[in-house]
Structure 1
Amino acid sequence: MTNLKGKVALITGGNSGIGYATAKELIANGAEVIITGRRKDAIENAAAELNAIALPADQTKLADINTLTAEVAALFGKIDILVVNAGISKLTTIENATEELFDEVINLNLKGTYFTLSKFIPLLNDGASVILISSSSASKSIPQTSIYAASKVAINAVMKIAAVELAPRKIRVNSVSPGPFATEIMKKTGLADARMQDFIRAGVPLDRLGHPAEIGQLISFLVSDAASFITGAEYLVDGGQSLNK
């Protein structure tokens, strides 16, 4: 186990999937965890299950991000771990893309991630750790994922620049890029039925979907002192799927 005792962590999109699993892992390793998300009931229910703190916020709204930073500052002053996980996936061909869908995906995945990081930088302790959740889609050219993939490519670029900008304060910034994981996002994108999952698994050399807890364990390591020399790195976690071009 990783020792995170005395550390304070904030996880966006913490009520399900990778965010929930990460919160569970950090709490198991001693951290005090705040989770946030758009759905007040879902966040509060998850926080009760995890023994975490719930602070509802919509990461697409700068006003909500500003309120969230003020609430966290009032509760803890500073934090040690920031995991920016909130995101959405919507599929469309480039030809059929609409401005509404484009804005929905970019506003949460890129704008929300960017300004959550931006506004929380003053609240990060020196030596803190930041994890941005990207996607294996940033490394692949999958039809109908152009908007989603573009948002995740941008996140990886922001991560690398943030790692350089924050290095003088010994703040480490890394990204984790999950591939096919058994999470709620699969249901929302219509990929949860058995035939589709069999098709997805066929393209994964390890012949299975990932488990959210596996990402939680990786993040727990990356935010710990054991990873104190790791910054500006993207961790691709996809069972080898990206090897099949």
Structure 2
Amino acid sequence: MESGKIAMVTGGNRGLGRATAQALARHGLRVIVTYRGDAQQAEETVRSVQEAGVEAAALRLDISDVGSFPAFASRLAAQLGHWGATRLDVLINNAGIGLFGPLEAVTVDDFDAVMDTNVRGTFFLIQALAPLLADGGRIINVSSSLSRHTSAGTSVYSASKAAVDVLSRTLAIELGARKIRVNAIAPGPTATDFNGGAMRDDAQVREGLGAQTALGRVGEPQEIGDAIAALASEDLRWVTAQRLEVSGGALL
């Protein structure tokens, strides 16, 4: 158990972010979740974490707005202080977007939106929060199984997640002197509301994607959350600069 430690999950108001916050709470961590637009969803996550017997809070953050990061770091420091702490122990960079389409349909705005959020935002948030991260802390960046296998219409999204993989390895070297572990976790097809909830709500899509995995089904959000919590735990304290795929053996 990681009782008393503090984790922050970006995009923690729903989907994988909420499942991750709940999994961390079951491991005894206090949890801060960030949200961009839906404060009510974020509060629902907070309540579900508190039901596990740990403290939780929600802070607004748009990770595509790099200019807002210094002010956000101040708000985060204030929240830590409210809990009698000065440092964050675990940072989960989960927030991201996916815009999909064939080569001829992708616009400059589409490209910039994906890269600004998934790559630029992730990098500069780590930069902004590194001074608040405890020595011996952990950073986990959410990638995708699509950084390994291919699917038509996913080129920009997949490229953004491949960049996240490389950032994770490189920052593991830079932050290793502080004993901070940096890893990427790469979910495969998972039944969330991502991309319109197709993998959650469309039985035909679930069946088709599930047939492409070794375990014969799509994943559930709780399974990704549990894997992230395990990677954040002291049980995997000797693991850094790695990409852990949690995909049920997709497209082997």
TM-score, scaled relative to structure 1: 0.94
Name the SS of the counterpart of 2:95 in structure 1: coil
- Please say if residues 12 and 85 of structure 1, whose CA atoms lie closer than 8 Å, have aligned partners that are also in contact: yes
Q: Who is 1:95 aligned against?
A: 104
Residues in 1 aligned to 2:4 and 2:47: alpha-carbon distance in whole angstroms: 20
Q: Which moved more, 1:215-224 or 1:160-169?
A: 215-224
Tell me by how many angstroms 1:188 deviates. Answer: 5.0
Would the alpha carbon gap of residues 64 and 188 (structure 1) be closer, same or farther in structure 2, given more than 3 Å must change? farther
Residue type of the alignment partner of 1:29: H
In structure 2, relative to structure 1, the CA distance for the partners of 1:150 and 1:45 (3 Å cut) is: same
What is the root-mean-square deviation in Å for CA atoms of aligned residues?
A: 1.5
- Contact 2:198/2:205 (<8 A) preserved: no
The residue type equivalent to 1:107 in the other structure is D
User: Which AA in structure 2 matches 1:25?
Assistant: A
Q: Distance in 2 between matches of 1:164 and 1:141?
A: 28
User: In the aligned structure 2, how far is the partner of 1:202 from the partner of 1:225?
Assistant: 34
Report if the CA contact (8 A) 2:94-2:142 is conserved: yes
Identity %: 37
Aligned residue identity for 2:60: P
Whether contact under 8 Å (1:210, 1:238) holds in the other structure is yes
2:83 is matched with: none
Q: Does 1:13 align with 2:22?
A: no
Deviation at 1:105, TM superposition (A): 1.3
The offset of 1:211, in angstroms, is: 1.3
Equivalent residue number for residue 69 of structure 1 = 73
- Alignment deviations for residues 42-80 of structure 1 (CA, whole Å, 9 cap, x no partner): 222322332220101111101332222111112222100
Report how many aligned residue pairs link the two structures.
Answer: 241
Separation in 1 of the partners of 2:42 and 2:69? 16
Shift of 1:201: 1.3
Moved more, 74-83 or 64-73: 64-73
Q: Which moved more, 1:65-74 or 1:6-15?
A: 65-74
Q: Tell me, yes or no, if the aligned pair for 1:13 and 1:19 is still in contact at 8 Å.
A: yes
The residue number in structure 1 matching 2:47 is 48
Unmatched 5+ stretches in structure 2: 51-55, 81-85
Question: What is the CA–CA distance in structure 2 between the aligned matches of 1:66 and 1:30, rounded to whole Å?
Answer: 29
Matches of 2:48 and 2:201, distance apart in 1: 25
